[in-house]
Amino acid sequence: MKKKLISVLLAAAMAVSVTACGGDANGTTATEPAGETAGSTESADAAGDAGSADGQTLTVWCWDAFNMDAMKEAARIYQQDHPDVTIDVQETLSADIQTLVQTYAMSGELDALPDIFLMDDQVFAKYLQNYPEVFADLTDSGINFGDFAPSKVANSVADGKNYGIPYDSNTVIACYRTDYLEQAGYTIEDMTDITWDEFITIGEDVKEKTGMPMLTNVQGEPDLLNMILQSAGISVFDEEGKISLVGNDGLKEAMNVYMELVEKGLLQEQTDWSGYQGSINNGTVVGTINGSWICSTIMSTDQGEQAGNWAVTNMPKLNDYAGATNYSAQGGSTWAISSTCSNYDLAVDFFNTTWAGSTEFYDNILVGLGAIGTYLPAADSEAYNEASDYFGGEAIYAKIVSYGSNIPTINKGIYWTEEKNALGVALSNVLSGAADLDAAIEEAQSTVEFTVGQ
């Protein structure tokens, strides 16, 4: 009877999550895996026996062919010296992983979880706090967490203990069309290590001379605002994890920067993600600021004149705000080993051999998939230091990895989704004239407090 009830709850929960969210945090949707597999790719919809009963098989849940193929490459490398080991990669949407973790934790059916699963960085802390029994403690596993960007590692740390292995780079980069900048008399060096005030001054000049806005963003999405906040070490949560918007001077300064960008026509807001991608690929903006995964979007255009006319640098910093830097993070995901893993030692050895120990692996997924890691030793590898013709002949990947080590670590709290939604509404209300800044912030604070019951 208990298992039947769990099955009913799962079916209902997953139906809701599939309807509500058909893609991952970066705006992509799950697709069928490409190429040869290192294990089965069955959907986790039938997740009643996800954990492996075979000590030499590790089951993995992750979403999107991009992530699945990266895990399969790790499996291929590991199997060279461990041919009897199978890595069974099962496609599972990010939203479904969250639903399943919650459902199995609440039901006590932890054995139904896979050995390894991928989790969005933005919600990792929330699920770790709410369901700590799901995650294996990796603190003494032998994994060298010092080999990863500190801000990335921090997403999966609780009470000084490690519960995740960092995956893709969420390091923020600023990407600009150098041909547009040149028309206005600027170079990429002029856009490097600058403040937002300097950016606005340059942006106004570029727009006047080229007619192009400097940046693009999805309307109502406060992603750029959150990037500005983290770059300055500003949290919107207090030490107890409660939302802290009212009286947060750093938040107010960052929101003023965002609104000035929009009001001066330097930031072009798009109605949806497709519009955002289109503005980049169609050449109607000078550039964008986002996680380094945006490189694949930039290079996806079929307009040949863009090749060689892009450059990468760091983002502007929050003027003279104490602690402000030119580095931030956006998006990304982290691997977790479940507490009921069928073979914890095998899983740890697998990660130590690949994700946490092989520059060859990171070279392969960079060249083959365009996947950029946060594994710091990879910055010295041949592939990461290879010049990118698309980005003006510069070794952008080594640069991105080096940026990652400079990102401030902040308290992101566990209510990131609720904070993001409330701040998105606040920005829209101020920009539309429906509320002034202080009133919008107060309303956002009240909304989050009500939603999470604080």
Q: Do 101 and 6 share a structural domain?
A: yes
Read off the CATH number of the domain in which 157 is found: 3.40.190.10
Q: Do 439 and 365 share a structural domain?
A: no
Burial of 373 (0-12, 13-18, 19+ CB in 10 A): buried
pLDDT at position 406 over 50 = yes
Domain edge (last residue) among 344, 364, 383:
383
pLDDT at position 329 over 80 = yes
Please indicate, yes or no, if residue 396 is contained in any of the structural domains.
Answer: no
Gyration radius from the chain CA atoms? 22
Percent of the chain with pLDDT over 90: 74
pLDDT at position 38 over 70 = no
Please indicate, yes or no, if residue 88 is contained in any of the structural domains.
Answer: yes
The pLDDT tens digits of the residues spanning 64-110 come to 888 999 999 999 999 999 999 999 999 999 999 999 999 999 999 99
Please indicate, yes or no, if residue 274 is contained in any of the structural domains.
Answer: yes
Q: Do 185 and 314 share a structural domain?
A: yes
Confidence of residue 46 (pLDDT cuts 50, 70, 90): very low
Domain edge (last residue) among 367, 383, 399:
383
Q: Do 176 and 140 share a structural domain?
A: no
Q: 163: which 2 tokens?
A: 């519960």
Helix (H) or strand (E) holding 390: none
pLDDT at position 44 over 60 = no
Q: Mean per-residue pLDDT for 412-422?
A: 89
Name the residue type at position 32.
Answer: E
Longest dimension (CA), the chain: 72
Please indicate, yes or no, if residue 391 is contained in any of the structural domains.
Answer: no
Percent of the chain with pLDDT over 70: 88
Confidence of residue 48 (pLDDT cuts 50, 70, 90): very low
Q: Do 151 and 9 share a structural domain?
A: yes
pLDDT at position 385 over 60 = yes
Q: Which domain holds residue 429?
A: 172-328+410-452
Q: Do 242 and 126 share a structural domain?
A: no
Q: Do 316 and 271 share a structural domain?
A: yes
pLDDT at position 39 over 70 = no
Please indicate, yes or no, if residue 397 is contained in any of the structural domains.
Answer: no
pLDDT at position 410 over 60 = yes
Residue with tokens 């509404």: 425
Please indicate, yes or no, if residue 307 is contained in any of the structural domains.
Answer: yes
Q: Do 226 and 263 share a structural domain?
A: yes
Residue 55 · residue 342 · CB < 8 Å: yes
Q: Do 216 and 340 share a structural domain?
A: no
Residue with tokens 């090749």: 307
**What is the spatial distance between Cα 315 and Cα 175, in angstroms, rounded to a whole number?**
9
pLDDT reported for residue 255: 96
Confidence of residue 151 (pLDDT cuts 50, 70, 90): confident
Residues 6 or more apart in contact with residue 346 via CB below 8 angstroms: 55, 56, 58, 85
The pLDDT tens digits of the residues spanning 174-199 come to 999 999 999 999 999 999 999 999 99
Confidence of residue 348 (pLDDT cuts 50, 70, 90): very high
The dihedral built from the CA positions of residue 309, 328, 324 and 259, taken in this order, carries a sign that is positive
* Range in 54-63, 214-223, 308-317, 338-347 with the lowest mean pLDDT: 54-63
Q: Do 182 and 96 share a structural domain?
A: no
Q: Do 378 and 361 share a structural domain?
A: yes
Helix, strand, coil in percent for the chain, rounding step 5: 45, 15, 40
User: Structural domain tally of the chain?
Assistant: 2
- Kindly report the pTM of this predicted structure: 0.81
- Check residues 46 and 170 and name the one with the higher pLDDT: 170
Helices (H), 235-358: 249-263, 273-281, 294-298, 344-353
Q: Do 13 and 72 share a structural domain?
A: yes
Q: How many CA atoms lie within 13 Å of 40's alpha carbon, on the beta-carbon side?
A: 8
Please indicate, yes or no, if residue 343 is contained in any of the structural domains.
Answer: yes
Please indicate, yes or no, if residue 404 is contained in any of the structural domains.
Answer: no
Confidence of residue 170 (pLDDT cuts 50, 70, 90): confident
What 8-state DSSP symbol labels residue 409? P
Q: 203: which 2 tokens?
A: 């942006």
